[in-house]
């Protein structure tokens, strides 16, 4: 078989690390180019770009997962990495084409789905949780280091070098897949012909969501996930732009913020989460995570000083325990043959939020006229005055209106979560869809808390 050695989790880890390390390098340059390209409606356009990308990813993920079940994982790893990284060199060639291609690339920007399917092919069920956790931790590690490196290189040598370096790393990732990654799906598991049995049910992105109302407990869990993840997805798409443009953070400060938040999130999702689950129980851990999320969103919304953003960031890391706790609750209470169905519903709702959240945040920023007429330069002596003048011009006591909206949404999620019983058996009537999940569900049906939480800016350009 093509590739180096037998298929392993380490192949998947290297693919993820290189892809998101390349994008992480472009964190600071992307924020600058975004403002220069759309000076009048920066946040609105950012929300639309990320919203279109998220919705296209949500619509295409089940189809790509089903096709990879037929044609193998390697070819789709190559396809998703190529199209996800295709916009990188366009940043310096044509910013308009750069953002246009980012939006359209959402059709194939589902590397995580294919990687999780790759891992599921080569691991036993009892090993899968640890393997998924390793993939997610690698993703977080790539974002801990790369924004700081990109900001430093951009300041010393210019953004052009950063774009060239990111392009080279993306090409290295593509070459690694071509040369080193072996196929994980055995030939015997694939259909005999390429005209293969791909039903609409397999490719339907709403297939999982149609089962939501069939059980009251499932409905409560799904509403909780929707109301809490919608503001989280919007926040991931716009928050670092908000820090740069409105709060006056330098490129280095934004990179340091990402690094600290990533490290704290990893600690919260491993050590703190396990301690809380043992001491206060699953449901109370979810409620505590939602409480932290309300606090950090309200702090972001009313905060007007940099130190407030840092303090709220520490609280945000603690709020990252919510989704792993939800996945653990589902995995413990659902029957063995229902795992794929219920986890598929939750993942489908998260995918929908990845499209709706950024667009909603961009629209709220636009409604409240949160824009900046010129790019603040905190590195220069006049930087503070530019930010101060902006704040004086704002006739609002709420610097970040979308974050306050998000806090209200999570408060509703907390009220809904209060009605979720601690111990119950989920009963979802799934018929043929359940059978489909059993054999083809892993591309879009995570099965463990370790993989369910995709830290920081999952599959976005920042």
Same domain, 178 and 221: no
Same domain, 5 and 141: yes
Asked if the structure places residue 456 within a domain, the reply is no
Residue 126 CB contacts under 8 Å (≥ 6 apart), including other chains:
none
Average pLDDT value for residue range 213-224: 82
Asked if the structure places residue 326 within a domain, the reply is yes
Same domain, 216 and 272: yes
Of the two residues 365 and 87, the one the predictor is more confident about is 87
Residue 398 is predicted with a pLDDT of 63
Same domain, 215 and 181: no
Same domain, 167 and 280: no
Same domain, 176 and 260: no
Same domain, 253 and 353: yes
Choice among 54-58, 129-133, 362-366, 391-395 with the minimum mean pLDDT: 391-395
Same domain, 236 and 162: no
Q: How far is CA 18 from CA 61, 99, 153, in A?
A: 21, 21, 18
Distance CA 206, CA 197 (A): 19
Same domain, 302 and 163: no
Helix (H) or strand (E) holding 157: helix 125-157
Residue 231 CB contacts under 8 Å (≥ 6 apart), including other chains:
293, 297, 357, 361, 402, 403, 405, 406, 407, 409, 410
Task: Indicate whether this model's pTM tops 0.85.
Answer: no
Asked if the structure places residue 412 within a domain, the reply is yes
Residue 22 is predicted with a pLDDT of 92
Same domain, 105 and 177: yes
pLDDT single digits (tens) 6-47: 878 888 889 989 998 999 898 888 888 888 888 888 888 888
pLDDT single digits (tens) 241-270: 888 777 888 888 888 888 888 888 888 877
Asked if the structure places residue 453 within a domain, the reply is no
pLDDT of 163 strictly over 90: yes
Residue 444 CB contacts under 8 Å (≥ 6 apart), including other chains:
61, 62, 65, 113, 208, 344, 347, 348, 351
What is the number of structural domains in the chain? 2
pLDDT of 437 strictly over 50: no
pLDDT of 376 strictly over 90: no
- Which of 49-53, 321-325, 414-418, 441-445 reaches the highest mean pLDDT? 414-418
Residue 222: band (very low, low, confident or very high) from pLDDT cuts 50, 70, 90: confident
Asked if the structure places residue 129 within a domain, the reply is yes
Range of the domain at 162: 1-185
Distance CA 303, CA 319 (A): 18
pLDDT of 443 strictly over 60: no
Same domain, 40 and 134: yes
Asked if the structure places residue 139 within a domain, the reply is yes
Same domain, 86 and 135: yes
Asked if the structure places residue 147 within a domain, the reply is yes
Asked if the structure places residue 100 within a domain, the reply is yes
Average pLDDT for the chain = 76
pLDDT of 448 strictly over 50: no
The CATH number of whichever domain residue 134 belongs to comes to 1.20.1250.20
CA angle 236, 239, 243 (to 5 degrees): 155
């Amino acid at each position: 078989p093509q590739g180096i050695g037998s298929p392993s989790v380490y192949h998947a880890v290297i693919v993820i690390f290189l892809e998101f390390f390349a994008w992480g390098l472009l964190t600071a340059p992307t924020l600058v180019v975004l403002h220069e390209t759309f000076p009048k409606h920066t946040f609105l356009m950012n929300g639309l770009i990320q919203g279109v990308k998220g919705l296209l990813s949500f619509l295409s993920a089940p189809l790509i997962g089903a096709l990879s079940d037929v044609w193998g994982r390697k070819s789709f790893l190559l396809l998703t990495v190529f199209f996800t990284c295709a916009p990188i060199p366009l940043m310096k060639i044509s910013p308009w084409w750069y953002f246009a291609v980012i939006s359209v690339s959402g059709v194939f920007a589902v590397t995580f789905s294919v990687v999780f399917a790759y891992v599921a092919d080569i691991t036993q069920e009892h090993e899968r949780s640890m393997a998924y956790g390793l993939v997610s931790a690698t993703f977080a590690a790539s974002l801990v280091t790369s924004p700081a490196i990109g900001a430093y290189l951009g300041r010393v040598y210019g953004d052009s070098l950063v774009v060239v370096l990111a392009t080279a790393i993306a090409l290295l990732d593509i070459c690694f897949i071509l040369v080193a990654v072996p196929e994980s799906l055995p030939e015997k598991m694939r259909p005999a012909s390429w005209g293969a049995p791909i039903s609409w049910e397999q490719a339907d992105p709403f297939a999982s969501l149609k089962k939501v109302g069939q059980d009251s407990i499932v409905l409560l869990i799904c509403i909780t996930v929707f109301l809490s993840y919608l503001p989280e997805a919007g926040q991931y798409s716009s928050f670092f732009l908000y820090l740069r443009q409105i709060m006056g953070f330098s490129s280095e400060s934004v990179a340091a913020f990402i690094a600290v938040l990533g490290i704290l999130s990893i600690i919260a999702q491993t050590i703190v989460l396990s301690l809380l689950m043992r001491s206060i129980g699953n449901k109370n851990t979810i409620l505590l995570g939602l409480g932290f999320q309300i606090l950090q969103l309200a702090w972001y919304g009313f905060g007007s000083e940099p130190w407030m953003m840092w303090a709220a960031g520490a609280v945000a890391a603690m709020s990252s325990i919510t989704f792993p706790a939800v996945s653990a609750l589902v995995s413990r209470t659902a029957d063995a043959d229902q795992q794929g169905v219920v986890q598929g519903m939750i993942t489908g709702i998260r995918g929908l939020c990845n499209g709706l959240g950024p667009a909603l945040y961009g629209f709220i920023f636009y409604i409240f006229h949160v824009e900046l007429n010129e790019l603040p330069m905190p590195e220069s002596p006049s930087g503070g005055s530019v930010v101060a003048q902006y704040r004086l011009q704002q006739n609002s006591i709420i610097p970040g209106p979308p974050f306050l909206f998000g806090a209200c949404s999570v408060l509703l999620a907390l009220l809904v979560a209060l009605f979720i019983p601690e111990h119950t058996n989920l009963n979802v009537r799934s018929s043929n869809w359940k059978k489909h999940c059993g054999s083809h569900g892993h591309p879009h049906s995570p099965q463990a808390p370790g993989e369910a939480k995709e830290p920081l800016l999952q599959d976005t350009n920042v």
